């Protein structure tokens, strides 16, 4: 088996977060490694461990998680599966959402809370510094300068390498960048939902990483006989694989992080990096929505 076949994520190409932290552009999102409602332990913790190890074997070296996934279940599984971490593996986590039960998410950006959560993430991941720490949501009740100012202090203390933000507008990114260096943003974005198009365009203009979450959504495009279904049959691929290939083709700063709790699905998702859409195919899918 060739390296290309055994490490399909390599085919996605690389992006340097902050100009000094290279990652393969097709990563892995670890939200689904938890129980229902992103709460508690998964039904099969050993399968979760296998998924993480298989993703890394396939060339994935960018894993995105958050303290709120579980809470902390996802981070602890990453530690169990992969620590001591192989050279070059970048683990990004997030803080700023509190949890009180399944499917309950509440912004909490008080500086003391963000510091507490960062310290807990360091402990659960088993690292001295988090490569990419992202403000999971901007808390409207707390001045942005207080939220990002605390992350800047943690960065100065050597506990955070780079800072990112999540679910933001262009104007919020611009404001954030007056407070601290921002290297990435993470917004809902996929082939079927492009409400964050302007955020992606801004990220590309500024050479900032854009991490689209929920990247495999296809909507009506995957209906039988639809454009995604037809093209998928041409490639012998799944509609989800083509949705990922479209994201990789859409912008050189796009870093999709498909998530799954199944080894077979992580293998399928990662092979999407080996699909190169032609200009005509990319335009046809882009215009189909």
- Set 69, 133, 189, 202: catalytic member: 69
What distances in angstroms separate CA 179 from CA 96, 168, 183, one per listed residue?
Answer: 17, 15, 13
Number of separate helices (H) and strands (E) present in the chain: 11, 11
Strand pairing report for 14-17 and 21-24: antiparallel
End-to-end CA distance of the chain: 38
Phi, psi of 53 (to 5 degrees): -65, -40
Residue 119: other Cβ atoms inside 10 A: 12
Two tokens, residue 159:
């506990």
**For the chain, what percentages of helix, strand and coil (3-state, to nearest 5) are there?**
45, 20, 40
Two tokens, residue 284:
């046809």
**For 67, what's the count of Cα atoms within 13 Å in the CB-facing half-sphere?**
28
- What is the C-alpha to C-alpha distance for residues 191 and 194, in angstroms, rounded to an integer? 7
How many Å is the Cα radius of gyration of the chain?
18
- Residue 103 three-state SS: coil
Residue 69 annotated among the catalytic residues of the structure: yes
Q: What are the catalytic residues?
A: 69
């Amino acid at each position: 088996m060739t390296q290309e076949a055994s490490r399909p994520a390599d085919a996605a190409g690389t992006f340097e977060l902050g100009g000094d932290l290279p990652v393969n552009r097709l990563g892995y999102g670890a939200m689904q490694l938890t129980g229902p409602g992103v709460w508690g332990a998964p039904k099969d913790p050993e399968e979760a461990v296998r998924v993480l190890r298989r993703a890394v074997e396939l060339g994935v070296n960018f894993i995105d998680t958050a303290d709120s996934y579980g809470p902390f279940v996802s981070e602890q599984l990453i530690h169990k599966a992969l620590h001591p971490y192989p050279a070059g593996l970048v683990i990004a986590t997030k803080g700023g959402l509190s949890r009180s039960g399944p499917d309950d998410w509440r912004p909490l950006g008080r500086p003391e809370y963000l510091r507490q959560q960062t310290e807990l993430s360091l402990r659960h991941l088993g690292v001295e510094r988090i490569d990419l720490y992202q403000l999971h949501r901007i808390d409207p009740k707390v001045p942005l300068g207080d939220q990002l100012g605390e992350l800047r202090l943690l960065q100065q203390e050597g506990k955070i390498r780079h800072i990112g933000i999540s679910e933001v507008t262009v104007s919020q990114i611009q404001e954030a960048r007056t407070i601290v260096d921002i290297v990435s943003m993470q917004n809902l974005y996929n082939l079927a939902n492009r409400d964050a198009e302007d955020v992606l365009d801004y990220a590309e203009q500024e050479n900032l990483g854009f991490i689209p979450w929920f990247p495999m959504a296809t909507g009506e495009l995957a209906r039988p006989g639809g454009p995604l279904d037809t093209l998928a049959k041409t490639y012998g691929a799944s509609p989800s694989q083509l949705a990922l290939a479209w994201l990789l083709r859409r912008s050189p700063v796009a870093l999709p992080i498909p998530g799954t709790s199944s080894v077979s699905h992580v293998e399928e998702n990662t092979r999407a990096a080996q699909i190169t859409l032609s200009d005509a195919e990319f335009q046809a899918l882009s215009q189909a929505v």
